[in-house]
Every structure is written in structure tokens, then in C-alpha cells.
Amino acid sequence: MAFGGGGEEPRMRRRRFSRRRTEAETVVDGRARGVDAPGTVVEEEEVVPPPPPPDRPLLWPWLLLLLALVLGGLAAAWLLTRDDGGTSAATVNVPNVVRLRQDEAVRRLNDRGLTARPVTRASSAAPGTVVTQDPGAGADVTKGSVVTLSVSTVQTEAVVNVVGKTATAAVKALTGQGFRVETAEVPSKKPANTVLAQRPQAGARVGRGSTVTINVSRGLASVPNVVGQSRDDAVGAIRSAGFVPKAFVVPSARPKGVVVAQKPKAQTRAAGGSTVRLNVSSGQSAAPPPPPPPPPPPPPPPANVTVPDVTGQQQDAAQRQLNTSRLKAGVVWVPSDEDEGTVVSQSPASGSTRKSGTRIQLNVSLGPTPGAERAVPNVLGLDPAAARRRLASAGFEVQTLAQPVSAGSQVGKIVDEQTAGGRRAPVSSAVVIYVGRRT
């Protein structure tokens, strides 16, 4: 039986065959049934089942091929990126060049295909030595990258402590470290040639060849006797002895220009470079004056008084003079190159007129090399003996002055003290206590 297209139907082939029918068949087609004649050939079709599907292809050869391709790709990637001593075309491993000389460090970086950029700084390493690098050793960077090298330009040293040493030993120790030394002599009660201070301070790191300044004590020297000499001769003698003269003109019957007093006194040992006060005569007649007439009765104290000049005096002497002038003192310790305890300024100024009992501020020098300070105990209201004991136990010298009072309860008691209680003053300085007395 033929199908469309002239070909046989896919997956099914029909096979024709003939067999002789031996039995009668009944044909129902609306006609009478009959029996075919013997030997009649009848064609029939037999349906043959489709053939089995072909075998499925094997997968494992393909999987092996894919695995081989993956492994080959990984191997190629490793060969391109591995560290092969800096010869890779993609990345370079930075070598360690710290502590090498600059030229050697630059050469090693160039051999790896890297660019060196040196910058200088002071350090404790020898000059020309690499002290740091950026990026650090072991970093992977692209070829041609810049590596910054910090190179020591000046070797630094920690300044040794020379305070308390002799000047000779200090200079030897500092020059041994490669420093230059400058010496400055300063007034001090320390032994001569003792180092009192240094700059830069001990432990500071500075470059070799830097200058270290040391302050050296002039030590104690004996003050020469210049009383009776002319002003110019006395000034020259004081300077030759290592002191600073300071002359003041004072009333005197001695010839004009003659030194009538000095402080410190002759043969006193004082710090070299400290001030020596010279009182020079104003030049009044040397003839002895006639005996004075009997003094008149004292006039009543004036309401106003003239402020005396007490600058240049020692603190306690200045307070006594102000007390005699019926003025009060207020002591304030200030930094100054003057000798410790010297009044360097006053307020109000000398020559001005003030009401009796006005307090005059005295600015007193702490000295060129200030010592320890301590708060002054408050002794107001105590009796003089108890006040002296309390101040002495705190390390102060005590001087006593009388001060007029109107209240009977203040008589015999401490009504004022200078330096005032609670303020700080150098240990061993003088504290003047004022004891009330009836006017």
C-alpha cells in the first residue's frame, strides 16, 4: 500500500504478502454472502513494529576533555601571576631594602623593574642609609611602580645630661657625641665651673654638629673694699672682681663722688656676677657742722607723706624705711637677674605724695637662679613669740617692726606680715612681722 510522497512511512514499514484462503469468508456489503472459489488469492497487510532507538552517545570522554581545558587554563594563569624574582610582566614583589645604603637599595629596586624615589630625613642611622620604605617589603605591585625610600641625611644623638658636672667634663662628653658646645657664665652660689643648665635638655635627639649651650656658675668671690675710693675707681675694682656695680648718690658730708658705703660689705663672699651697691656722696662740706640746737617738740604727723626711693635695697631694709615714713609695705616676689631679695621696682614711685598708712608694693627679685619657694604661714593675731616660732619652723627668717594701732586689742599682736600669709616666697627669705603698739 503506497503512502503520500512515494516513500515508505518512517519508523514503520509495511510488508506485502499473499496467502491462499482456504476458507470461505462472508462478505457483508449489502449483497448476498457467497464462498470464494478455491484458489482465490487475497492480499493482506501486516504491521511491523518500529526498530529500537539507536544507542545513546557516551559522556565521559567529553567530561575528560572539559577537565583538561580547565586545568590548562589554571596552569596558564599561575604561570602569568607567580613570583618569579620580579621578571613577571604583570606584578613585581617588592624587595626589602631597609638598612641598605641608598645606591644599593636603588639598584635592587631597578633590577625588579621598580622606580626608587629617595626622600631625606634626620635619624639615628648613619647618613645615606635607608630607614623606611613604602610600599613595604613583600608587597605585590605592578612593574614600574614607585617605591619611596626615607634616607638618613643627618645622624641624630640623644643629648647626654651634663648638669652638675664640671665645665671641662661637660664639654668633653658633648664633643664626644659630635656636638659643638657654647659656654655662658652666670651668677650662682654653686661652686665655680659647675654646669647649672643645658639647652637642649638631656635626652633630646638632635643632629650631630648641633650646638649645645651650657650655663656655668661663676662661683663665689670675695667682694673688694671700695669705701673711700672715687666712684670711677670703685666701679672698676668691683667689675674686675667679677661683680656688677650699681652706684647711688646719697647725702653725705664726705667729698663729692667718694664711696661712703657698699653692700655687700667688703670681704663678703657673693655669687660672681651679682650686684654690689655703692653709695656715693653728693658732695656736702667735709667740715664738721656746728652742734645742732635742741630739737623742737615733734610736730604732729602730717596727713600726707612723700614716698621714699627704696629700689636697690634689700627687702627688709626697704620695709624698715617705709615703716619709718609711716607707710606700709606689700612684698611681691618677681623673676629678675638682680640678687635675691633686692627691690627691683616700687609702686607708687618715689617722690609721689601719699596718705600716711598707704601700702607701697615692692617687687623683690627671686634672683638669677631661683631656689625653692614655700607658702608663708599666716600669723596675724598671734603674739610675736608664737609668730616667730611658726615662721621659723617653715624655714623663714623673721624680723620685727612696730606699727601704730588705735585698738587696744591689737597692742602686742601681729597686725601685718610681709611677705603676706599665703603668698609664696623663697625659703630662708626674711618675713617682717608688724607688732601693734599704741599710738
What are the DSSP calls for 153-201, one per residue?
Answer: EEEEEEPPP-TTSBHHHHHHHHHHTT-EEEEEEE--SSPTTBEEEEESP
- Given a contact cutoff of 8 angstroms between Cβ atoms, the answer to whether 416 and 380 are in contact is yes
For 383-418, how does the pLDDT look when each residue is reduced to its tens digit (9 = 90+)?
999 999 999 999 999 999 999 888 888 889 999 999
pLDDT of residue 264: 92
**How much is the mean pLDDT over the chain?**
81
Query: One-letter amino acid identity for 423?
Result: R
pLDDT of residue 55: 59
pLDDT higher than threshold 90 for residue 67: no
pLDDT higher than threshold 60 for residue 137: yes
Q: What is the DSSP letter of 166?
A: B
CA atoms within 13 A on the CB side of 184: 10
pLDDT higher than threshold 70 for residue 3: no
Of residues 386, 397, 385, 383, the one with CA closest to residue 432:
397
DSSP-derived pairing of the beta strands 275-281 and 244-250 = parallel
Average pLDDT in the 180-196 region? 87
Phi, psi of 335 (to 5 degrees): -65, 140
d(CA 177, CA 212): 11
Q: Higher-confidence residue: 351 or 79?
A: 351
Name beta bridge partners: 211.
Answer: 180
pLDDT higher than threshold 60 for residue 74: yes
Average pLDDT in the 274-279 region? 92
d(CA 222, CA 238): 10
pLDDT higher than threshold 80 for residue 297: no
Phi, psi of 78 (to 5 degrees): -65, -40
pLDDT of residue 302: 61
Q: What is the pTM for the complete model shown?
A: 0.34
pLDDT higher than threshold 50 for residue 36: no
Which residue shows C-alpha cell 630607614? Answer: 131
pLDDT higher than threshold 80 for residue 349: yes
CA distances from 8 to 3, 11, 44, 47, 51 (A): 6, 9, 17, 13, 14
d(CA 408, CA 302): 23
